[in-house]
Amino acid sequence: MKNGEIILESLSPERRRQIIECLDGIRGRADAGKVFLRPYRAGELGLVSWRHCVLYEKEYGFDETFEYYLLAGMAQFLHDLGGKGEVWVADCGGNVVGSIAIVETSAAVGQLRWFLLEPAFRGLGLGRALMDTALEYSRDRGHGRVFLWTVSELHAARHLYQAFGFRLTETKTHFLWGRDITEERWDLEFS
C-alpha cells in the first residue's frame, strides 16, 4: 500500500480476478442486454440521489445544495412518511440506469418524484415505462390526483408529462441550487 492506495497491478492475477468479480457484484454488469423495472432495494435511494446530483450539475449547473434537497425528501419519505409510496428503478445488469417514485402525500394524492434516466438510456421508451408504472400504482392506490415539481429546462420530461395528461398549474422563479431557476408544478387529475 502506498499513500493509502492499493495497487492492484501488484496483486496476483487470481486475486485481481476476485476483486473484479466483487466489484461486478456491487456495480452489476452493463453487458446484460436487458433493462427491467423493479422496486428499489435498500441503499439504492443514495445511488438515485448521487446520479441526480452528478447529472443535474453537469446538464443544468445545479450546485451542492441540490443534494440536501434530494436527501431531505428521501429521508422524509423513509422516516416521516414511513415509506408510503414506492420507488422503482430501471435495472440493466444490476446497474440502476433510471428511477421514478410516487410519494403518498395523503390517501388521495401522490407526488411523482426522482424521475431520472441515464443519458445513454434516454429515447428508448424507458421514460414512458417508468411513468406508466408510477401512474398505474397511483390509480391502484385510489389517488385522485398526482402532482410533481420540475424545472422549466427539462424539456423532454415536460413533454412526457404533457403526453400523460399533466397540466402546468404553477410557476415560480427564484435563486435555487446555485442559479436562477423557474420551478413548475404539474398536476394530473384521474377521472
Residues contacting residue 101 through CB under 8 Å, at least 6 positions apart: 77, 85, 86, 87, 88, 112, 113, 114, 115, 134
The CA distance from 135 to 146, in Å, is 8
Can you give the pLDDT at residue 92?
84
Task: Answer yes or no: is pLDDT of 87 > 70.
Answer: yes
Task: Answer yes or no: is pLDDT of 38 > 70.
Answer: yes
Q: What is the mean pLDDT of residues 29-43?
A: 78
Phi-psi category of residue 91: left, alpha or beta, with phi > 0 → left and psi -120 to 50 → alpha: beta
Q: Is 62 exposed, middle or buried (0-12, 13-18, 19+ CB in 10 A)?
A: buried
Cell 434537497, located at residue: 69
Identify the structural domains of the chain with CATH numbers, from first to last.
28-189 (3.40.630.30)
pLDDT tens digit string along 147-179?
999 998 888 899 999 999 999 999 999 888 888
User: Does this model's pTM top 0.85?
Assistant: no
Sign of the C-alpha dihedral, residues 134, 137, 141, 144?
Answer: positive
